[in-house]
Amino acid sequence: MPRPKKFASDAERKAAYRAANSRIDLVIPNDLNLTIDAISDQLAISKNELVTAMIKYALTNHNWKVSGVWTRPK
């Protein structure tokens, strides 16, 4: 027996995805883009997956609210 559908249509499914997730327009220098390309190729994942993982790691391992952007954690 197939699993019941959660959404009545693809449009409803996409709308639910967009409501649960946000998009960020990210502008980076070309040298950083090349580095991200190289890492994503080496790990065989998309650039989007890599940048998301990097952001999650940075938020987990650094208290940005206390330390700010240009300081190292103690």
pTM above threshold 0.75: no
Domain annotation covers residue 57: yes
Tens digit of each residue's pLDDT (9 = 90 or more) over 27-45: 999 999 999 999 999 999 9
Domain annotation covers residue 56: yes
Domain annotation covers residue 43: yes
CA distances from 21 to 16, 18, 41, 61, 69 (A): 9, 5, 25, 22, 25
Domain annotation covers residue 29: yes
Locate 72 and state its tokens.
């190292």
Whole domain around residue 52: which residue ranges? Answer: 24-66
Under 8 Å between Cβ of 26 and 33: no
Domain annotation covers residue 54: yes
Number of structural domains (the chain) is: 1
Most confident of 5-9, 14-18, 20-24, 47-51: 47-51
Domain annotation covers residue 31: yes
Domain annotation covers residue 13: no
